[in-house]
Structure 1
Amino acid sequence: MKQGGKLGRLTVQTSSLVSCARLGWPGCVPRDLRIVRTGRGVVVKAAIVRLVLFLLLFSAAFVAPHARADTTSQVVLVRVKGVINPVTAAYIVRGIDTAEQTSARAVVIQLDTPGGLMDSMRDIIQRMLASKVPVVVYVSPAGARAASAGTFITMAANVAAMAPNTNIGAAHPVSGNGQDISDTMGEKITNDAVAQIRGLADERGRNADWAESAVRESKSLGERDAVRQNVVDLMAEDVPSLLRQIDGREVKTPAGPVILQTADATVVPVDMDFMERFLLMLSDPNIAYLLLSLAMTALFLEFSNPGAILPGVVGAIALLLALFSLGMLPINYAGLALIFLGFILFFAEVKVVSHGMLALGGVISMGLGSLMLINSSAPYMSISRPLIAGVVLAVALFFTLVVGAAVRALRKKPASGQEGLIGQIGVARSLLNPEGYVFIQGARWDAVALEGEIQTGEEVIVTGVEGLRLYVMRYLEGRPGLRPGPTVTVREITDGEGIHPPLLTTGDEIDRQNDHQED
């Protein structure tokens, strides 16, 4: 139905206003409507405006609440596999922070670890105890373990679960080399660990006596016995099964009691970022050893060839990364010193003629240092024996063959140009009295004999060059002071007739010549 009012030649379509008013929409007044002049008058077009407003209100009323529901129905999943160290601790802390920021219903730590550093373990436990979001530790997948530091982390969880064919325990503290800590210090550390794990077990309502025995006696349990002895809360096949089983449980957090609602929750994995993966890779003892070897090799190349730049840059970067990596590992400084000594001996072999003795000493020193470098008997803290053998052999060959050949090439007398002719042996092609011709390096040269006549066919040795003229002497293989090669020197001598061109002499010959001049 169309209703209208007339004012001169202007007409206003009011049916839209009536419908708008019936809906009770705000802002439904004539001044909010767009007026368009037509040939017969002005028609108010309000239908498009109403549609846009309706869509906006629908989005605000329905879409936004659903988005918030998706965020709050999440369960954050953190996957930990490997040694507990500062990198792993930072990753777990970031996962718990993410769960709190997104108001997730829980955070699940999927754990598989042989143990690790106590300081990193304590950082993780402190963050778990302070979490406002329930923390679930799930020892998984099949074949995984929560040993040593992993036992403490599992005990600190609001809910502890294990997958089939997993185990927990063996939490006795050991020194950096994997051995028992003896005497008073060992007793103090053990008692401190017992107090901590009993406190965690009591806080979470678990078997504190078994927890103490895991520390004092290194006891371990499989998943079924762990559930039966109240060490963990339940056994689950996978993460979805875990979330269904813990749904409806009430747990205590610093923010107060929380009833878990995880049956229909969406699992959102929080994986390690690039920097965390890179730092975790550096914490591998094998990577640390490779970086150290690369750094030492590159830096020795830079020191032996100043200005090469690239070896220095690569060596400096590798050395800094190696120091960071070794800082997370229990290293033996005697082993580190032996590795340095091995590189020094390899370098000395290139500079000094030792008939291989220095190289042999370098192999022995670097090999022993490599075996001693990591001060731990734990398998996950050791350097691969085949890797040690390969690196030591490669470094030894590199220094003795590659670097040695380069140094010998630098020491070699120039083989071209005027300098290359000094010390060369040729044949007289004419009588030198004192001038004549000689044949050297496949070419005929004008030559001047510096001592007496030299007959055609006699061997001569070049002692000096002046333009295209050579100064030669009769070459006698056994004659002292006139043997060619890199050990001879070029000097000038004088006699009563003036200055001769340079002669190829040794120190003994010069002394004899100087004595002759004084006479």
Structure 2
Amino acid sequence: MNRHPLWCALLLLLLGALSGGAMAAAPVAVLTVDGAIGPASADYLIRGLARAEEEKAQLVVVRMDTPGGLDTSMRDIIKAILASPVPVATYVTPGGARAASAGTYILYASHVAAMTPGTNLGAATPVQIGGMPGSPPERPDTPAKPGKPDDAKEAEKPAPGSDALTKKQINDASAYIRGLAQLRGRNAEWAEQAVREAVSLSAEEALKQKVIDYVASDVGDLLKQLDGKTLKTASAAEVKLQTVGAEVIEHLPDWRARLLAVITNPSVALILMMIGVYGLLLEFSNPGTGIGGVVGGICLILALYALQLLPVNYAGMALILLGLLLMVGEVFMPSFGVLGIGGIAAFVVGSVILIDTEVPGFGIPMVLIVGLALASALLIFGILGMALKARRRSVVSGDAGLVGSLVPVLAVHENDPHGGWVQLQGEKWQIASRAPLQPGQRVRVVARQGLQLDVEAADDQAP
């Protein structure tokens, strides 16, 4: 009879241990995207999702504030979200933030879509990338043809995106976001409207129209609302969230993500390419130092790596390289400015068309382009000016440096007073003169005959 209390105590301890283990919920990983969606953002989010899987996280919260970004990077992120075994909650925060363009697609692709009050999403019309842009729609203030009524005038105006290429892009984007909306059970009609008409919604309106799932004041509030919810992952497995009291692990962008964000900035990539080209040319023109070759090679490789991740117009890159080569050619083959001016023009035009997209955050400022062109021009023409000055100076080496030199006679031949020796340019020369010579007499070199110098007595003769 005394054994029963002991067994009951052990049973209670075992149940307590099991319940304590069950109460220890899996952690929640938090990632942050602040700025344009690009190669750096995609790399950071994809690695963040893989790390969350390794940490056995029950949920990944992506805090987002973006004006949009590149289509390729956006699709890479969405592929990673759709294939993730860990549910993803995209949360537009803080107040005043937005999930425009590419951010709207990512929001629709996430398992949970949430926003902070005072934020907005939408304007998901794809931006022209590559190819020849279509004809712009007729301006509203364009004068109508005489005799045409107003409704006829409106009928004559082409609809936005009336050219074939723009239609293809908009239709593709509409089908893409509609598929995401149907996958997550969200408002597909508004999603297509956001693509075709570039409309936007506030957080409250988005919740009413079932575009998003939750409106939360902060991450803690969002986790409270998600507690107990069941979500389906890529493997069709259902994950029940236990987010109240769960450990929140925040993964900020590491050095790799920050470095990639810097070098994939089109302005930085352009500067790196210029430093690389000039460094290699300096090394080739003055071999042996090694500094120009090392620095130039590293910068050029970084620039090429960054440009292959960006939507680059290869005609623009070719014009930039041609412009740099022409400006350098002006130094080695002076053409009175023809090569230099042509190089500057090619560099400016190539820089303007280098990045083949109008996505915010991926353009090269005109101020930077003009500044780099002027700096290159000043450098090239400065070197050219120094070369011209050096060309005007008298030659101090070779035959031209010997002729006209004033030197004292070192010695005179014993049997020939018209001949002797002088020391000139570090060497001992035999001399010949029409007039007799004396040791110590100053003579002027008038010509060179092989290893012999023809001299004549100088005006300021010395005994």
Give the alignment's TM-score, normalised by structure 1. Answer: 0.68
Q: 2:228 aligns to what SS in structure 1?
A: coil
DSSP-derived class of the 1:76 partner: strand
Residue 215 of structure 2 corresponds to residue 232 of structure 1: no
Q: Tell me the distance in 1 between the aligned counterparts of 2:291 and 2:260.
A: 24
1:287 corresponds to which of 262, 268, 282:
268
Deviates further, 396-405 or 376-385: 396-405
The SS at the match of 2:361 is helix
Which residue, out of 39, 46, 52, partners 1:93?
46
Alpha-carbon distance between aligned partners in 2 of 1:110 and 1:85, rounded to the nearest angstrom: 16
Residue 393 of structure 1 aligns to a residue whose secondary structure is: helix
Q: Matched residue of 2:350: which SS?
A: helix
Give the aligned partner of residue 334 of structure 2.
353
Name the SS for the 1:195 alignment partner. Answer: helix
Task: Please report how far the alpha carbon of residue 228 of structure 1 lies from its aligned counterpart in structure 2 after TM superposition.
Answer: 2.5
| Cα distance per residue 1:207-247 (max 9 Å; x no partner) | 11110101111111222222232211222222222222332
Amino acid at match of 1:135: V
Counterpart-to-counterpart distance in 1, 2:16 and 2:380: 73
> Is the aligned partner of 1:203 residue 2:183?
yes
Q: Paired residue for 2:194?
A: 214
- What amino acid sits opposite 1:93 in the alignment? I
- In 2, the alpha carbon distance for the partners of 1:346 and 1:474 equals 48
Q: 1:343 maps to which residue?
A: 324
1:150 aligns with 2:103: yes
- Of the candidates 425, 445, 462, which is equivalent to residue 404 of structure 2? 425
The one-letter code sitting in structure 2 at the alignment partner of 1:463 is R
**Which residues of structure 1 form unaligned runs of 5+?**
1-22, 25-59, 476-519
1:74 aligns with: 27
- Name the CA shift for 1:474/1:388 in 2 (closer, same or farther; >3 Å): farther
1:311 paired residue among 292, 309, 319:
292
Once the two structures are superposed, the pairs formed by residues 165-314 of structure 1 within 5 Å of their partners are 165-176=118-129, 183-253=163-233, 254-314=235-295
| CA distance, structure 1, for counterparts of residue 187 and residue 380 of structure 2 | 60
Whether the 8 Å contact between 1:438 and 1:446 is mirrored in structure 2 is yes
Q: Is the 8 A contact 1:332 1:374 kept in 2?
A: yes
For the residue of structure 2 that corresponds to 1:380, the secondary structure is: coil
| Displacement of 1:160 | 0.9
Whole-angstrom distance in 2 between the partners of 1:205 and 1:393: 55
Q: Structure 2 CA distance, aligned partners of 1:472 and 1:182?
A: 87
Contact 1:447 1:471 in 2 (8 A): yes
Are the equivalent residues in 1 in contact too, given 2:130–2:356 (CA < 8 A)? Answer: yes
Larger radius of gyration between Structure 1 and Structure 2: 1
Aligned to 2:453: 471
Give the distance between the partners of 1:337 and 1:278, measured in 2 at CA. 26
The DSSP-based 3-state class of the residue aligned with 2:89 is strand
CA contact (8 A) 1:79 1:110 kept: yes
Q: Distance in 2 between matches of 1:133 and 1:89?
A: 17
Name the Cα RMSD after superposition: 4.1
**Match for residue 149 of structure 2?**
none
Q: 1:64 to 1:230 in 2, by over 3 A?
A: closer
| Gaps in structure 2 of 5+ consecutive residues | 1-5, 8-13, 135-160, 458-463
Task: Mark the CA change 1:103 to 1:402 in structure 2 (over 3 Å): closer, same or farther.
Answer: same
Classify the secondary structure of the residue corresponding to 1:381.
Answer: coil
Report Cα offsets for 1:283-340 as digits up to 9, x if no partner.
1101110111111111212332344443223323222221111112222222222212
**Bigger relative CO (Cα 8 Å, ≥ 6 apart):** 2
Indicate yes or no: 2:70 matched with 1:117: yes
| Residue aligned with 1:251, SS | strand
In 2 relative to 1, CA 216–457 (structure 1 residues): closer, same or farther, beyond 3 Å?
same
Aligned to 1:102: 55
The match for 2:460 is none
- Residues 396-437 of structure 1: per-residue CA shift (max 9 Å, x gap): 333333587589879999858xx598435234879x974479
| 224-233 vs 398-407, greater mean Cα deviation | 398-407
Could you tell me how far 1:357 is from its partner in structure 2?
Answer: 3.6
Determine the C-alpha separation between the residues in 1 that align with 2:392 and 2:223: 74
SS at 1:354 equivalent:
coil
Q: Hey, what's the Cα distance between the residues in 2 that align with 1:220 and 1:307?
A: 60
Task: Return closer, same or farther for 1:189/1:376 CA change in 2, 3 Å cut-off.
Answer: closer
Contact 1:350/1:404 (<8 A) preserved: no
Q: How has the CA–CA distance of structure 1 residues 436 and 90 changed in structure 2, closer, same or farther, with 3 Å as cutoff? A: closer
- C-alpha distance in 2 between matches for 1:140 and 1:454: 101
Asked whether the 8 Å contact 2:88–2:112 carries over to 1, the reply is yes
The 2-side partners of 1:228 and 1:332 are apart by 43
Q: Aligned residue for 2:431?
A: 448
- One-letter identity of the residue aligned with 1:193: A
- Amino acid paired to 1:201: A
Rounded Cα–Cα distance in structure 1 between residues aligned with 2:278 and 2:341: 17
- Relative distance call for 1:151 and 1:216 in structure 2 (3 A) is same
- Give the one of 358, 362, 367 matched to 2:343: 362
The answer to whether the 8 Å contact 1:76/1:268 transfers is yes
Amino acid at match of 1:273: D
